[in-house]
Amino acid sequence: MDEASRIVGEDLAFQRKVWRFQRLGWFGMAVLILLAMAGAFGGGPLSYASARSDDGALEVAWERIERLGRSSELRIRIRQLAPGPLELRLEEGLVEDVEVAGGQPRPVSETRAPGRIGMRFEPPPGEQWAEILLNLRATRPGLVSGTLAAGASRVRVRIVVLP
């Protein structure tokens, strides 16, 4: 160590460790900003999900990541296989941890049982597919996992609810 470093109290090895820690901090912040811009915390391309039943008669699109207390949309397409009203069922976590805050079109009838909500909709005249939009609001933070069913068609829905 030279005379000036000793007088000032400079410790170059310690300073290099601090610089390395600062670079790691800057890198971590940059990663968090990029993840937020991509929607990893809600409201972006990474936060949307969609699924189709095995038979293709039920298609669902939803926000995979949402915020507690904020309304989100569950878009449902049901292929009408038989004449008569369409029946849609929400099961498990979609009943217990989420409340249905409205939708379009309104169901003709609704039945509730423990762990299950059943809704009947009039099918659109002359259409093979019916489109239903449900507004959901989570009641607790955490992972919400449930099933959406129409007839024998089933789709598993998982939502991460952030505080």
Q: Rounded mean pLDDT of 97-125? A: 88
H or E element in which residue 78 lies: strand 71-79
Largest alpha-carbon pair distance within the chain?
94
Q: Rounded mean pLDDT of 37-52? A: 84
Predicted confidence (pLDDT) at residue 2 exceeds the cutoff of 80: no
Predicted confidence (pLDDT) at residue 48 exceeds the cutoff of 60: yes
Give the number of domains in the chain.
2
On whether both 29 and 51 belong to a single domain, the answer is no
On whether both 30 and 53 belong to a single domain, the answer is no
On whether both 28 and 63 belong to a single domain, the answer is no
CB atoms within 10 A of CB 12: 9
What's the pLDDT at 141? 92
Q: pTM of the predicted model, to two decimals?
A: 0.77
pLDDT > 70 fraction of the chain, expressed in percent and rounded = 94
Predicted confidence (pLDDT) at residue 101 exceeds the cutoff of 80: yes
At 114, which amino acid appears?
P
On whether both 110 and 156 belong to a single domain, the answer is yes
How would residue 5 be classed by pLDDT, with cut points 50, 70 and 90? low
What's the pLDDT at 96? 84
Strands of 80-150, DSSP E: 86-92, 98-104, 109-113, 116-121, 129-138, 142-150
Predicted confidence (pLDDT) at residue 110 exceeds the cutoff of 60: yes
Predicted confidence (pLDDT) at residue 1 exceeds the cutoff of 60: no
Q: How many residues does the chain have?
A: 163
CA-based angle 153:67:120, to the nearest 5? 30
On whether both 16 and 61 belong to a single domain, the answer is no
On whether both 12 and 72 belong to a single domain, the answer is no
What's the pLDDT at 8? 64
Q: Rounded mean pLDDT of 113-138? A: 88
Give, in order, the Cα–Cα distances in Å from 42 to each of 18, 129, 135: 34, 29, 16
Q: Decide: 136 and 98 in contact? Cβ < 8 Å.
A: yes
Half-sphere exposure of residue 72, counting CA atoms within 13 Å on the CB side?
26
On whether both 74 and 29 belong to a single domain, the answer is no
On whether both 59 and 28 belong to a single domain, the answer is no
At residue 47, the 3 state secondary structure works out as helix
Q: Rounded mean pLDDT of 13-37? A: 92
How would residue 102 be classed by pLDDT, with cut points 50, 70 and 90? confident
H or E element in which residue 72 lies: strand 71-79
Q: Rounded mean pLDDT of 68-97? A: 87
On whether both 99 and 137 belong to a single domain, the answer is yes
Residue 80 belongs to domain spanning:
45-162
On whether both 100 and 30 belong to a single domain, the answer is no
